[in-house]
Amino acid sequence: MAAKNTCIMNKDNQFALITGASSGIGRALAVECAKRNKNLALVSLCDSGLGRFIKYLKTYYPVTIHHLEIDLTTKDAPKAIYNWCQNKNIAVNMLINNAGKGHLGPFYDYNYEFYEHIIRLNIESVVLLTRLFIPELKAQQKSYILNLGSLASFYFMPYKTVYAGSKAFIYSFSKALRQEMKNTNINISVLCPGPIITNQDVIVRIRRGGFWGKASSMRSSRMAKIAIDKLMQGKPVIVPGFINKFFLVLNKLTPGFLKQRIIHRKFSVKNKV
């Protein structure tokens, strides 16, 4: 059964809107919000298993759940999500921009359409959803925005050029917007996790990373608890795990030319596996 947690009150029409909610980090964040008695507005792709997940949530958590299946990379998808919330009388006081897509391989191995897709999902949807919902968030007594960055937000990554670049954008966008909104009721945080154990493919990639890959990895449920705890505390940048925080300190101390060599070697080797 769900653990009782009263840090967020369950008001009838106040919701956490979570994109990419059917699996992985989005799913873990949805469960964590439900544990805290938070109503949910879940967005995911069609045929992504969202319906089965909602049945699970309703079995264990007494929260109201609305869901919308939509491709965030299609034209006007952010407007469609916003209008859906308005029509359903869903008052969003927590916006979690989680949906995203990664890749691994030389830049020229992927075509124009792939990069158009990843930019729309990782960057455009986050910016436009945030802009659409800010008036709604301002209307609540206290509101929150959580954008999903990555440890990649702090590094340039050959063979992950556009993914790492998109996460660097999310980090910069979140920090700058937080500064603009500092005198409002909206708290803005960016979540920058390392490897998160979500499925078998991720486990395989973590194992390929050797000792440090395993040491920096984390269960999605633990990461989600840390993320929502820190979001509620108003922390601007959330980096779950001691090892990942250590990597960031090491990043600041390591000369640029040496980082270039290490990162290039690491990801060129992974690309050949």
Distance CA 190, CA 237 (A): 5
Handedness of CA 31, 34, 36, 39 (dihedral sign): positive
The pLDDT tens digits for 148-178 are 999 888 888 888 999 999 999 999 999 999 9
The pLDDT tens digits for 13-51 are 799 999 999 999 999 999 999 999 999 999 999 988 999
Domain ranges of the chain: 14-272
Q: Give the DSSP letter of residue 62.
A: -
The pLDDT tens digits for 195-225 are 775 554 555 454 554 444 444 457 889 999 9
Tokens of 142: 């206290």
Tokens of 208: 């390929």
- In CATH terms, the fold of domain 14-272 is Rossmann fold (3.40.50)
Specify whether the CB–CB gap between 7 and 63 falls below 8 A. no
The pLDDT tens digits for 239-271 are 987 666 656 665 665 556 555 655 555 555 455
Tell the burial category of 259 from Cβ atoms under 10 Å away from its Cβ (0-12, 13-18, 19+). middle
